[in-house]
A and B are shown apart, each in its own frame.
Chain A
Amino acid sequence: EPEVTQTPSHQVTQMGQEVILRCVPISNHLYFYWYRQILGQKVEFLVSFYNNEISEKSEIFDDQFSVERPDGSNFTLKIRSTKLEDSAMYFCASTWMVETQYFGPGTRLLVL
Protein backbone atom coordinates (compact mmCIF):
# COMPACT_ATOMS: atom_id res chain seq x y z
CA GLU A 1 0.00 0.00 0.00
CA PRO A 2 1.45 3.42 -0.90
CA GLU A 3 2.53 5.57 2.00
CA VAL A 4 3.97 8.96 2.79
CA THR A 5 7.65 8.78 3.69
CA GLN A 6 9.74 11.30 5.60
CA THR A 7 13.46 11.75 6.14
CA PRO A 8 15.24 11.97 8.43
CA SER A 9 13.35 10.25 11.21
CA HIS A 10 15.32 12.25 13.78
CA GLN A 11 17.28 15.48 13.46
CA VAL A 12 19.34 17.23 16.10
CA THR A 13 20.55 20.73 15.32
CA GLN A 14 22.04 23.76 16.99
CA MET A 15 19.96 26.88 17.49
CA GLY A 16 20.34 29.23 14.53
CA GLN A 17 21.11 26.47 12.04
CA GLU A 18 19.04 25.74 8.97
CA VAL A 19 17.24 22.42 8.64
CA ILE A 20 15.45 20.84 5.72
CA LEU A 21 12.85 18.19 6.38
CA ARG A 22 11.99 15.96 3.47
CA CYS A 23 8.80 14.21 2.49
CA VAL A 24 7.74 12.03 -0.40
CA PRO A 25 3.94 12.18 -0.66
CA ILE A 26 1.86 9.41 -2.19
CA SER A 27 2.41 9.63 -5.93
CA ASN A 28 -1.07 10.50 -7.23
CA HIS A 29 -1.88 12.94 -4.46
CA LEU A 30 -2.39 16.61 -5.24
CA TYR A 31 -2.57 18.29 -1.87
CA PHE A 32 0.32 18.42 0.58
CA TYR A 33 0.61 19.61 4.14
CA TRP A 34 3.01 20.14 6.99
CA TYR A 35 1.87 19.85 10.59
CA ARG A 36 3.84 19.90 13.80
CA GLN A 37 3.32 18.44 17.25
CA ILE A 38 5.21 19.82 20.22
CA LEU A 39 5.84 17.05 22.74
CA GLY A 40 2.68 16.22 24.67
CA GLN A 41 0.52 18.66 22.74
CA LYS A 42 -1.94 18.48 19.89
CA VAL A 43 -1.09 18.46 16.22
CA GLU A 44 -0.99 21.95 14.69
CA PHE A 45 -1.32 22.93 11.05
CA LEU A 46 1.59 24.78 9.45
CA VAL A 47 1.01 25.01 5.71
CA SER A 48 -0.86 23.48 2.79
CA PHE A 49 0.41 23.29 -0.78
CA TYR A 50 -1.46 22.74 -4.00
CA ASN A 51 -0.62 23.28 -7.64
CA ASN A 52 2.95 24.31 -6.77
CA GLU A 53 2.00 27.07 -4.42
CA ILE A 54 1.01 27.65 -0.83
CA SER A 55 -2.76 27.51 -0.48
CA GLU A 56 -2.97 28.26 3.21
CA LYS A 57 -0.63 28.87 6.12
CA SER A 58 -1.02 29.31 9.85
CA GLU A 59 0.38 32.07 12.04
CA ILE A 60 3.10 29.64 13.10
CA PHE A 61 4.41 29.57 9.52
CA ASP A 62 6.38 32.79 9.63
CA ASP A 63 9.23 34.04 7.44
CA GLN A 64 11.70 31.52 8.81
CA PHE A 65 9.69 28.69 7.24
CA SER A 66 9.46 27.83 3.57
CA VAL A 67 8.19 24.90 1.52
CA GLU A 68 9.17 23.61 -1.86
CA ARG A 69 8.32 20.83 -4.27
CA PRO A 70 11.56 20.85 -6.21
CA ASP A 71 11.22 17.84 -8.46
CA GLY A 72 7.62 16.61 -8.63
CA SER A 73 8.09 13.96 -5.96
CA ASN A 74 9.78 15.52 -2.93
CA PHE A 75 8.09 18.06 -0.70
CA THR A 76 10.38 19.92 1.69
CA LEU A 77 10.03 22.12 4.73
CA LYS A 78 12.94 24.45 5.44
CA ILE A 79 13.46 26.22 8.72
CA ARG A 80 16.07 28.92 8.10
CA SER A 81 17.26 29.75 11.59
CA THR A 82 16.03 27.26 14.14
CA LYS A 83 14.91 28.26 17.61
CA LEU A 84 14.56 26.16 20.72
CA GLU A 85 10.77 26.31 20.40
CA ASP A 86 10.94 24.70 16.96
CA SER A 87 11.67 21.39 18.69
CA ALA A 88 8.75 19.18 17.74
CA MET A 89 7.59 16.28 15.63
CA TYR A 90 6.97 17.46 12.08
CA PHE A 91 4.45 15.54 10.00
CA CYS A 92 3.98 15.66 6.28
CA ALA A 93 0.56 14.66 4.93
CA SER A 94 -0.96 14.27 1.51
CA THR A 95 -4.32 13.58 -0.08
CA TRP A 96 -6.14 13.58 -3.40
CA MET A 97 -9.63 13.72 -1.96
CA VAL A 98 -11.38 15.32 0.96
CA GLU A 99 -12.13 12.10 2.81
CA THR A 100 -8.71 11.66 4.33
CA GLN A 101 -5.19 12.93 4.82
CA TYR A 102 -2.43 10.38 5.02
CA PHE A 103 0.36 11.25 7.39
CA GLY A 104 3.99 10.28 7.17
CA PRO A 105 5.83 8.79 10.14
CA GLY A 106 7.18 12.20 11.18
CA THR A 107 10.58 13.80 11.75
CA ARG A 108 11.49 14.41 15.34
CA LEU A 109 13.44 17.69 15.45
CA LEU A 110 15.45 18.66 18.48
CA VAL A 111 17.00 22.13 18.62
CA LEU A 112 19.78 22.57 21.18
Chain B
Amino acid sequence: AQKITQTQPGMFVQEKEAVTLDCTYDTSDQSYGLFWYKQPSSGEMIFLIYQGSYDEQNATEGRYSLNFQKARKSANLVISASQLGDSAMYFCAMREGNSGYSTLTFGKGTMLLVSP
Protein backbone atom coordinates (compact mmCIF):
# COMPACT_ATOMS: atom_id res chain seq x y z
CA ALA B 1 0.00 0.00 0.00
CA GLN B 2 1.15 3.50 -0.76
CA LYS B 3 2.20 5.43 2.30
CA ILE B 4 1.56 8.79 0.67
CA THR B 5 -1.15 9.24 -1.93
CA GLN B 6 -1.55 12.34 -4.04
CA THR B 7 -4.55 11.72 -6.28
CA GLN B 8 -4.29 14.87 -8.43
CA PRO B 9 -1.65 14.52 -11.14
CA GLY B 10 -2.32 18.10 -12.22
CA MET B 11 -4.24 21.12 -11.05
CA PHE B 12 -5.06 24.40 -12.75
CA VAL B 13 -5.86 27.61 -10.93
CA GLN B 14 -6.18 31.23 -11.88
CA GLU B 15 -3.93 33.83 -10.39
CA LYS B 16 -5.17 35.19 -7.04
CA GLU B 17 -7.43 32.24 -6.41
CA ALA B 18 -6.91 29.68 -3.64
CA VAL B 19 -6.09 26.06 -4.44
CA THR B 20 -6.04 22.87 -2.38
CA LEU B 21 -3.64 20.05 -3.14
CA ASP B 22 -4.69 16.73 -1.67
CA CYS B 23 -2.56 14.31 0.32
CA THR B 24 -3.56 11.23 2.25
CA TYR B 25 -1.18 9.09 4.24
CA ASP B 26 -1.01 5.67 5.81
CA THR B 27 0.90 4.88 8.97
CA SER B 28 0.45 2.93 12.17
CA ASP B 29 2.87 5.15 14.07
CA GLN B 30 1.46 7.55 16.64
CA SER B 31 4.30 9.98 16.13
CA TYR B 32 4.91 11.20 12.60
CA GLY B 33 5.35 14.35 10.60
CA LEU B 34 3.96 15.59 7.32
CA PHE B 35 5.81 17.85 4.92
CA TRP B 36 5.13 19.68 1.71
CA TYR B 37 7.85 20.52 -0.78
CA LYS B 38 7.75 22.59 -3.95
CA GLN B 39 9.82 21.58 -6.97
CA PRO B 40 9.98 24.22 -9.72
CA SER B 41 11.13 23.37 -13.21
CA SER B 42 14.72 24.11 -12.19
CA GLY B 43 14.60 20.96 -10.05
CA GLU B 44 15.42 22.01 -6.51
CA MET B 45 13.25 20.86 -3.59
CA ILE B 46 11.96 23.76 -1.53
CA PHE B 47 10.56 23.06 1.93
CA LEU B 48 7.18 24.74 2.43
CA ILE B 49 5.47 23.58 5.59
CA TYR B 50 5.50 20.95 8.33
CA GLN B 51 2.78 19.42 10.52
CA GLY B 52 3.52 17.15 13.46
CA SER B 53 1.06 14.43 14.39
CA TYR B 54 0.64 15.86 17.87
CA ASP B 55 0.20 19.46 16.72
CA GLU B 56 -3.31 20.54 17.58
CA GLN B 57 -3.40 23.52 15.27
CA ASN B 58 -3.01 23.47 11.52
CA ALA B 59 0.37 24.71 10.39
CA THR B 60 0.61 27.96 8.45
CA GLU B 61 3.52 29.62 6.66
CA GLY B 62 2.59 32.80 4.85
CA ARG B 63 0.28 31.89 1.98
CA TYR B 64 0.62 28.18 2.74
CA SER B 65 -1.51 26.32 5.23
CA LEU B 66 -1.86 22.66 5.94
CA ASN B 67 -5.37 21.31 6.49
CA PHE B 68 -4.60 18.43 8.85
CA GLN B 69 -7.42 15.96 9.46
CA LYS B 70 -5.91 13.23 11.58
CA ALA B 71 -8.91 10.90 11.70
CA ARG B 72 -9.13 10.97 7.91
CA LYS B 73 -5.34 10.74 7.57
CA SER B 74 -5.24 13.69 5.25
CA ALA B 75 -2.82 16.61 5.08
CA ASN B 76 -3.93 18.88 2.28
CA LEU B 77 -1.91 21.93 1.27
CA VAL B 78 -3.85 25.14 0.77
CA ILE B 79 -2.23 27.93 -1.21
CA SER B 80 -4.08 31.19 -0.88
CA ALA B 81 -3.92 33.97 -3.47
CA SER B 82 -2.03 31.93 -6.08
CA GLN B 83 0.80 33.61 -7.96
CA LEU B 84 2.34 32.75 -11.33
CA GLY B 85 5.51 31.74 -9.49
CA ASP B 86 3.57 29.03 -7.68
CA SER B 87 3.52 26.96 -10.87
CA ALA B 88 5.55 23.89 -9.93
CA MET B 89 5.40 20.28 -8.82
CA TYR B 90 4.27 19.83 -5.22
CA PHE B 91 5.20 16.81 -3.15
CA CYS B 92 3.69 15.61 0.10
CA ALA B 93 6.00 13.58 2.32
CA MET B 94 5.85 11.77 5.66
CA ARG B 95 8.36 11.07 8.36
CA GLU B 96 7.40 8.11 10.56
CA GLY B 97 8.61 8.01 14.14
CA ASN B 98 10.19 10.80 16.09
CA SER B 99 13.86 10.35 15.34
CA GLY B 100 15.96 12.95 13.61
CA TYR B 101 17.24 10.39 11.18
CA SER B 102 13.80 9.13 10.21
CA THR B 103 13.56 9.25 6.46
CA LEU B 104 10.96 10.91 4.31
CA THR B 105 8.56 8.96 2.11
CA PHE B 106 7.25 11.01 -0.78
CA GLY B 107 4.09 10.94 -2.83
CA LYS B 108 4.09 11.09 -6.61
CA GLY B 109 3.38 14.78 -6.67
CA THR B 110 0.85 17.20 -8.12
CA MET B 111 1.72 19.59 -10.93
CA LEU B 112 0.17 22.99 -10.30
CA LEU B 113 -0.25 25.46 -13.13
CA VAL B 114 -1.26 29.01 -12.32
CA SER B 115 -2.69 31.00 -15.21
CA PRO B 116 -2.97 34.80 -15.50
Chain A residues proximal to chain B, CB less than 8 Å: 30-31, 33, 35, 41-45, 48-50, 55-56, 58, 89, 91, 93, 95-106, 108
Contacts and interface: CB of A to CB of B under 8 A. Distances in A.
Given A99-B33, A100-B35, A31 B44 contact: no
Interface stretch (B65-73, B80-88, B99-107): B99-107
A105 B104 contact: no
A33 B104 CA distance: 10
Contacts of B47: 100-103
A45 B105 contact: yes
Count class of interface residues, chain B? 20 to 34
A30 B33 CA distance: 18
Contacts, number: 66
B100 A42 contact: no
Contacts of A105: 43-44
22 contacts: A31-B100, A43-B45, A44-B106, A48-B103, A49-B101, A50-B100, A50-B101, A55-B101, A58-B103, A93-B104, A96-B100, A98-B33, A98-B52, A98-B98, A98-B99, A98-B102, A99-B52, A101-B35, A101-B47, A105-B43, A106-B45, A108-B43
Given A42-B108, A103-B37, A33 B103 contact: yes
A48 B33 contact: no
A106 B104 contact: no
Contacts of B45: 43, 91, 93, 103, 106
Nearest to B33: A98
Interface centre among B46, B105, B106 (most CB of A within 10 A): B106
A91 B43 CA distance: 10
Contacts of A89: 43
Interface in B23-54: 33, 35, 37, 43-47, 50, 52
